[in-house]
Amino acid sequence: MWRNIARSAAASCLRRSRRFSTAIPGPCIVHKRGADILHDPWFNKDTGFPLTERDRLGLRGLLPPRVISFEHQYARFMESYRSLEKNTLGQPDSVVSLAKWRILNRLHDRNETLYYRVLIDNIKDFAPIIYTPTVGLVCQNYSGLFRRPRGMYFSAKDKGEMMSMIYNWPAHQVDMIVITDGSRILGLGDLGVQGIGIPIGKLDMYVAAAGINPQRILPIMLDVGTNNQRLLEDRLYLGLRQPRLEGEEYLSVVDELMEAIFTRWPKAIVQFEDFQMKWAFETLQRYRKKFCMFNDDIQGTAGVALAGLLGTVRAQGRPLTDFVNQKIVVVGAGSAGIGVLNMAAQAVSRVAGNTGASPNHQFYLLDKDGLITKERKNIDPAAAPFAKGPGEIEGLREGASLLEVVKKVKPHVLLGLSGVGGVFNEEVLKAMRESDSTKPAIFAMSNPTMNAECTAADAFKHAGENIVFASGSPFANVDLGNGKVGHVNQANNMYLFPGCSFYFRWHVASRC
């Protein structure tokens, strides 16, 4: 009987331990010795190995004699980081950001346990370094910054070999995979193989902020070439020197990779990140019912934006049911902009109690050619549901400018996902003062920071203090005068409060 009880208790504990990948494993068998351990960031503890472990693992003589505790190593790194901050005062932001990224990356290459401890404890300071806005700068310079590989690289030259290649990854279990083809990195365009910085940075954020087990993550770069001529001519470029694959040839490569991934790890989650618009929608529709996957630009950004839009309704002092009456102008008809409109349309349908409703007539979509209407020739199929008919745009024409649309529509929300820095200029922001809402919302969601549609300071200066401002990148505190300052604080939620602005995903800035 006791044996059965023990077996039942053990099974129960096993079930509990399998529930989350964040469960702390017990002691592990190390199949390495000597210098191989010191060169493996998973096992390396630097000078933290006690003498007994140095003897067992063949490390005696390979390290300085003093044993330094984990806490001491932590303090030493933070001291080095603060010293770097002092020594780079007055230097250009890009130089400082890359210097900070390098020191963190060196730690990541050497000791992953210490790296993630530092990251978790200082997420507010380090999030802008390992991800946006610094990650854009890193991707632009990745071939020159490259020191050692991280993640996996699959290319068009590997067609027919991906099923065997996937087993080269050392982890037996993988829970989360972020994959990019580098075709549309943030608002920077085609960066080819250098886009690997995005999956790496995104997964580090998931580990630090969401508690995902760092041993069960995998960043993947799918290199199908690049159409960026500057990269093709760069002697340091690490990717394929060929134009991007197109059509069925492209899809066959992605098909093979997806089959390989889910053959080895059938329960993994695959996130598609920064694919150009035509492939973002195509791959989402192609795989969403077959594999556990999603597209972050279409669905992830849309989910965060919808939370902000619904929070804006409350900030405006209106019930959520009034969301159906929100006039929303979206600037940017790429995968993110259309993804936001699709999800907003679904929300409108649910709020209205009619799941079969068509996209709300209160949505206005603009691209580089202005307002999209049904008169547009060669309109993209994904944008077609949001194109305005002649009866819906009295006083506006096909291709109307953003300023014309804002003045005529007087929107409750002006949302930018255009990747064009400063497109919300002074005239546009001042026009938002005439919004039909007493507390209009301005969402400048493009990143990195230089691609944001406007800054927080410009929004409050030109559109007025009584606005809701949201951005995809962090901004400095805003002095609103009369003792009022917009403070930026780390937040664990995405609720909006009256008269507030917030940094999507990681920060909230509230007026006080």
**Integer Cα distance of 223 and 193 in angstroms:** 6
202 is catalytic: yes
| DSSP-derived secondary structure letter, 441 | E
Instruction: Compute CA distances 271 → 139, 222, 260, 330, whole Å.
Output: 19, 13, 15, 24
Q: Is 273 annotated as ligand-binding?
A: yes
> Any known ligand binding at 125?
no
Q: Which of 81, 115, 142, 202 is catalytic?
A: 202
Catalytic residue among 115, 131, 206, 250: 131
The tokens of 418 are what?
């255009």
Any binding-site annotation on 447? yes
493 is in an annotated binding site: no
Give the residue ranges of DSSP H helices in 273-334: 277-287, 301-315
DSSP collapsed to 3 states, 319-330: CHHHHHHCCEEE
User: Is 141 annotated as a binding-site member?
Assistant: no
55 in a labelled binding site: no
Whether 131 is a known active-site residue: answer yes
Helices (H), 40-133: 51-56, 70-87, 93-110, 112-121, 123-130
Cα-based torsion angle of the residue sequence 209, 215, 216, 220 in order, rounded to the nearest 10 degrees: 90
Residue 113 · residue 45 · CB < 8 Å: yes
499/312 Cα distance (integer angstroms): 10
Pseudo-torsion of CA 461, 465, 470, 474, nearest 10°? 60
160, 135 contact by CB (below 8 A): no
Which residues are paired to 507 by β-bridges?
490, 503
Closest alpha carbon to 303 in 446, 506, 494: 494
Scanning the structure block, which residue is given the tokens 């492209």? 250
Distance CA 272, CA 181 (A): 9
Sign for the pseudo-dihedral over CA of 138, 140, 144, 146 = positive
Pick out the residues of the known binding site for a divalent metal cation: 273-274, 297
Pick out the residues of the known binding site for (S)-malate: 184, 447, 492
Give the catalytic positions in this structure. 131, 202
Pick out the residues of the known binding site: 184, 273-274, 297, 447, 492
